[in-house]
Amino acid sequence: MKTLVIDCRMIAMSGIGRYISELLPFIIAELGKDVVLLGKKDELKQYNNKIIEFDAPIYTIQEQINYRKIIPKSKLFWSPHFNIPLAPIKSEKRITTIHDVYHLAFYKELSIFQKIYAKIVINEALSKSDKIVTVSKFSKNEILTYTNNKYKDKIEVIYNGVSEYQFDKITATPKNDIFEIEQYPYFLFVGNIKPHKNLENALRAYIIFIENLPENIKKPHFKIVGKREGFINGNNMQLGNLINENPIIKNLVDFTGFVSDLKLKELYSQALALVFPSKYEGFGLPLLEAMKYKCPVLASNIPPIKEICVDSALYFDPNSIEDISKKINNIYSSKQLRDNLINKGYSKYKEFSWEHSAKKHLNILMDLL
């Protein structure tokens, strides 16, 4: 019997993928060969543990059918997302990470299938799991608000960390030829285009900001980390139309495509500010990344972001395009404000580490084992 089986299918994705990839080395270092990984072998080949090929898409019937066949006899099964096996499995205990309950908080915006799936699976995850991990006090409160308070003692809050890289000792200066120094100032957005990420309001606010700048001022760009195709296709037609049709967007908004971690460090370290306009989050990893690389943070005034950043960010109302535009202008116009946010953020990010997060996860795992 194996000790621990982990569903690693999301390891190559942003967000949850970062969460899995950062914690996995610590868990394997502690439990060794008794850890079995489910996922694609080419994405997990760096680990010397047993890998069981499993590529069923998440949130599918195929996933549910295969779970029972694939999960080996074990003491503990860990789902790093709420898409748990609904049927009985050959594992004695379960632990699940629920990062947020967006699917319940924005229930009215989902399709019929999404509504049914989210309602059933999140409640089943709470019922069937011996322990639930979540990433902020806000998320714990949201889970209890949208499900049942009887799960209160089963849920533990463990904050995410900020990644440490070998290249972190590299300083982004004009003398360092590793970095391509940008020729113009820019704001930075790091995230996806799900409606709650609120990119549309951020871009509309940016347009107003640009329109109000004097003609002789060099216009700062707006860089979006991600593939352009992902922004102009899909269900968010208003956002797609805005990107395709507005001349300011066409001339001043840059889509970076996929970037390496080293390139992302460069983008953070040279940006005027990270613009983080989300209407809903469980945590928000880019916030910590920006603070680490001395990038001022301009963010929504929603509870989870204020829980993480406290006074290390300049806040705006994510529903007010005018307020977002005003705060973009404030941070653009004041070097003193940017420097103040940089100093506060650089102190704040040090309170979060993946090593500390991993130790707390391991304490739970060992207790369950």
Residues 148, 196, single domain; the answer is no
**Lowest-confidence pick of 41-55, 57-71, 163-177:** 163-177
- In this prediction, residue 126 carries a pLDDT of 96
pLDDT in tens, 85-112: 999 999 999 999 999 998 888 887 778 8
Q: CA-to-CA distance for 50 and 74, rounded, in angstroms?
A: 13
Residues 102, 157, single domain; the answer is yes
- In this prediction, residue 274 carries a pLDDT of 98
Burial of 289 (0-12, 13-18, 19+ CB in 10 A): buried
Residues 95, 240, single domain; the answer is no
- In this prediction, residue 242 carries a pLDDT of 75
Entry pTM: 0.89
pLDDT in tens, 9-31: 999 887 899 999 999 999 999 99
**% of residues, the chain, pLDDT over 70:** 91
Query: Mean pLDDT, the chain, as a whole number?
Result: 89
**Lowest-confidence pick of 48-57, 131-140, 257-266:** 257-266
Q: Residue type for 246, please?
A: N
- Residue 316's domain spans which residues? 166-351
Question: Which CATH number goes with the domain that contains 193?
Answer: 3.40.50.2000
Strands 221-225 and 186-190: parallel
Residues 211, 319, single domain; the answer is yes
Residues 117, 189, single domain; the answer is no
pLDDT in tens, 350-360: 999 999 999 99
Residues 212, 94, single domain; the answer is no
Residue 234 has pLDDT above 80, yes or no: no
Residues 71, 179, single domain; the answer is no
Mean pLDDT of 113-141: 93
Residues 186, 257, single domain; the answer is yes
**DSSP string of 206-226, one letter each residue:** HHHHHHTS-TTSPPPEEEEEB
**Lowest-confidence pick of 49-63, 148-162, 169-183:** 169-183
Residues 55, 131, single domain; the answer is yes
pLDDT in tens, 239-282: 667 777 778 888 888 888 778 888 889 999 999 999 999 999 99
**DSSP string of 8-53, one letter each residue:** -TTTTSSTHHHHHHHHHHHHHHHHGGGEEEEE-HHHHTTS-SEEEE
Residue 293 has pLDDT above 90, yes or no: yes
Tokens coding 209: 């900001």
- In this prediction, residue 251 carries a pLDDT of 86
Q: How many domains does the chain have?
A: 2
Tokens coding 15: 């967000």
Residues 60, 175, single domain; the answer is no
Residues 170, 278, single domain; the answer is yes
Residues 296, 273, single domain; the answer is yes
Residue 176 has pLDDT above 50, yes or no: no
